Amino acid sequence: MIKAGQIEKGTALLIKGQPFIVVDREFVNPGKGSAFVRLKLKSPATGQVLQETMKSQDNAEDITVADRDCQYLYNDGESFHLMLTDTFEQIEVPMATFPDYEFLMKDGETYRCTFWESQLLEIQIPPKVVYLIAEAEEAVKGDTVQGATKYVTTETGLKVRVPIFIKQGEKIRVNTETREYIERVNN
């Protein structure tokens, strides 16, 4: 048990018997009123998003989770297939559980994954990742109307808005949370 005030982003909680990961936590003090914690939680099993507001003194049932490395093998359009690098055991999780992760994960790459017992709760995508540009439209000369940006598609299929000087075959660093371009990466 922990106090709701100690909950952080990433804390795993058991709510009505189901594991949830805290994806957003905000302290709120209503105009007249004691301290509350506003939580946004995600169920790794179903992808369900839940909103909860707890008094900072409320008890919450936290669960012990463990990080293990998994190699991302591929997706078949329905599920992600991953392999635990320590036991070579393969696991399959519905893609709907981690929406849009197929655009962020690279085939063959190893990711830290959060497990509760045998259940995969979270695939930890690093906050900044370098991607190869697979497709980039040619910049139109003199086109500065859009603040001189254009869309490119990465090796993983992620569409990112970038400055017009970025070309196909180049690498860029992307903020994986906001999906925004950070900088060009020189080889």
Partner 1 sequence: MMRKIRSFFDGRSYLEVDTPILSPTLIPESTIENFATRFENPFLPSVELFLVPSPEVYMKRLIADGWGSIYQISHCFRNSEQIGPYHNPEFTMLEYYTIEADEQDSIAITEELFHALADGETADHLRPPFNRLTVEEATWQLCGVDLEHHQRQSSLAAEARRLGLTVPNEPESWEETFNRIFLTFVEPHLPQEKPLVLDRYPAQIECLAFQEGPWRQRWELYGGGIELANCYNEERRLSKIEQYYSDEYARLVTKRTDSGMPIADIDPDFAQTLAAMPRVSGVAMGLDRLQMLLMNRKSLGEVLLFPLSSTLE
Stretch in the footprint of partner 1 (CB under 8 A) among 33-41, 106-114, 152-160, 171-179: 33-41
In whole angstroms, the minimum distance from the beta carbon of 142 to partner 1 comes to 29
Count of CB atoms situated within 10 Å of the CB of 120: 21
Give, as ranges, the residues between 52 and 81 that touch partner 1 (CB under 8 A): 52-55, 58-59
Amino acid of residue 109: E
In whole angstroms, the minimum distance from the beta carbon of 111 to partner 1 comes to 30
Q: How many whole angstroms separate alpha carbon 103 and alpha carbon 95?
A: 11
6 binds partner 1 (CB under 8 A): no
Bridge partners, 128 (sequence order): 175
The DSSP secondary structure of 56-113, one letter per residue, reads TTSEE-B---EEEEEEEEEE-SSEEEEEETTT--EEEEEGGGSTTGGGTPPTT-EEEE
Interface pick for partner 1 out of 6, 9, 35, 135 (rule CB under 8 A):
35
In whole angstroms, the minimum distance from the beta carbon of 172 to partner 1 comes to 25
Q: How many whole angstroms separate alpha carbon 25 and alpha carbon 2?
A: 15
Q: Which is closer to partner 1, CB of 17 or CB of 108? A: 17
Stretch in the footprint of partner 1 (CB under 8 A) among 35-43, 97-105, 151-159, 164-172: 35-43
Footprint on this chain of partner 1 (rule: CB under 8 A): 15-16, 26-36, 38, 50-55, 58-59
